[in-house]
Amino acid sequence: MAASSRAQVLDLYRAMLRESKHFSAYNYRTYAVRRIRDAFRENKNVKDPVEIQTLVNKAKRDLEIIRRQTQKDDLSHY
């Protein structure tokens, strides 16, 4: 499997930020946006393709977590 390209990483970044904006709690929303930005920025100079793939896989898992947790938010208003 070819390592993730720059375009794929950017797509992932945008998708994560987009999903994070759906957190209804102010603190979760602001944390998610800030953390995603800082994490991608911190790793922007990583060159090793294996390391890049590990980071991308982790980000994909985190994106799924955000999707599941924000979906829960829409359905329920406690």
Partner 1 sequence: MLLRTAWRRAAAAVRAAPGPRSEAPARGLRLRVVDNAPQSAVPSDTATAPEVESVLRPLYMDVQATTPLDPRVLDAMLPYLVNYYGNPHSRTHAYGWESEAAMERARQQVASLIGADPREIIFTSGATESNNIAVKGVARFYRSRKKHLITTQTEHKCVLDSCRSLEAEGFQVTYLPVKKSGIIDLKELEAAIQPDTSLVSVMTVNNEIGVKQPIAEIGQICSSRRVYFHTDAAQAVGKIPLDVNDMKIDLMSISGHKIYGPKGVGAIYIRRRPRVRVEALQSGGGQERGMRSGTVPTPLVVGLGAACEVAQQEMEYDHKWISKLAERLTKKIMNSLPDVVMNGDPEHHYPGCINLSFAYVEGESLLMALKDVALSSGSACTSASLEPSYVLRAIGTDEDLAHSSIRFGIGRFTTEEEVDYTVEKCIHHVKRLREMSPLWEMVQDGIDLKSIKWTQH
Closest distance to partner 1 from the beta carbon of 65 (Å): 5
Closest distance to partner 1 from the beta carbon of 3 (Å): 23
- What's the Rg (C-alpha) of the chain? 14
| Closer Cβ to partner 1, 10 or 31, answer by number | 31
Helices (H) then strands (E): counts for the chain? 3, 0
| Closer Cβ to partner 1, 5 or 31, answer by number | 31
Phi and psi at 49, nearest 5°, equal -60, -30
Residues that bind partner 1 (CB under 8 A): 21-33, 35, 38, 62, 65-66, 68-69
**Cα–Cα dist 8/31, whole Å:** 23
